[in-house]
Chain A
């Protein structure tokens, strides 16, 4: 039985407190990013300032193929709040592009029909 997985003792402990990588900032400059906002890299990340850590470049490398904010956070084992700050920084310097699906997406009959066909074809 694979029930909901609770944090286990075997999970690697964080070596630093999470908001150290944001310089202590807990809020991004722009509006709060949706968990399913899609991030894609616009550069290869080589030009980034890494004085506060390797995370910004890692993010850019992970989103050369578009990826959601939630998935980025999980892959880098960073809380969503930290990821939002870092993504906001990268957006501000033009290293990434942030695409937020408009809420009307969920009620667009054309998109829903394609989604339905897609799920049936899985």
Chain B
């Protein structure tokens, strides 16, 4: 493990270990807010380009051949120490960009599925996805203003979430809530890595 900030021979900076957590959920469920609450940089938006052909569903009609389209993802960064950095990647809001998810979750510690209880079904694809990949994940019920608060047990039953997946109430605007959600996820990933769960 590199501990020095600079390589002795080249004086070039040593690259910190990059860890990654994916933040998923339905459209406008608060993913960017969640990332922004704890990221040390303003959430950055990056674009991935693809062709309509690769979208599979949602064919836009009688357009022949390839046509470029753009999908946007948000991400943030948290410096854990001189030799470790954590990236938070928000998934594209549209469910049909599954192939991008495959890339996003490769090598990820785990996922946070944000839930809006007013549109609980919006998170089904994300829950299914993480269950399918076997990646550790937590379900975070975003506490929007004006939304009635559901008990985590109700959400667990509504989503048929297995007992080893933590469910937490989380106001995505509050840094401590986001921090606690990430702690729960990494604890879960650690148990999994140790073969306990």
Contacts and interface: CB of A to CB of B under 8 A. Distances in A.
Given A34-B103, A79-B48, A118-B80, A65 B109 contact: no
Interface in A75-122: 75, 79-82, 97, 99, 101-103, 105-109, 111-116, 118-120, 122
Contact of B18 (A68, A73, A116, A122): A68
Contact of A36 (B30, B107, B193): B107
- Chain A interface size range: 35 or more
B68 to A, nearest CB: 9
B177 interface: no
Interface string B166-197: 00000001010001001100110110111000
Given A66-B13, A97-B12, A116-B190, 5 more contacts: A40-B13, A99-B15, A105-B107, A108-B193, A109-B193
A29 interface: no
B47 interface: yes
A64 B5 CA distance: 13
Interface stretch (B54-62, B81-89, B157-165): B81-89
A38 B16 contact: yes
Of A1, A79, A106, A116, most buried by chain B (CB within 10 Å of CB) is: A106
Closest 3 pairs between A and B when the two form their complex, measured CB to CB: A118-B80, A74-B44, A103-B107
A32 to B, nearest CB: 8
A52 interface: no
B48 A114 contact: no
A112 to B, nearest CB: 5
B117 interface: no
A18 B77 CA distance: 25
B48 A5 contact: no
Nearest to B38: A122
B85 to A, nearest CB: 8
Contacts of A119: 78, 80, 86, 179, 182-183, 186
A5 B32 contact: yes
Contact of B189 (A34, A36, A106): A106
A80 B47 contact: yes
Interface in A38-58: 38, 40-42
Nearest to A84: B48
B46 A4 contact: no
A10 to B, nearest CB: 13
Contacts of B47: 73, 79-80
28 contacts: A1-B33, A1-B145, A2-B36, A4-B28, A4-B93, A5-B32, A35-B103, A42-B10, A64-B13, A68-B87, A70-B44, A70-B75, A74-B46, A74-B75, A80-B46, A81-B49, A97-B12, A97-B15, A101-B17, A106-B19, A106-B109, A106-B110, A106-B189, A114-B84, A115-B19, A116-B186, A116-B190, A118-B84
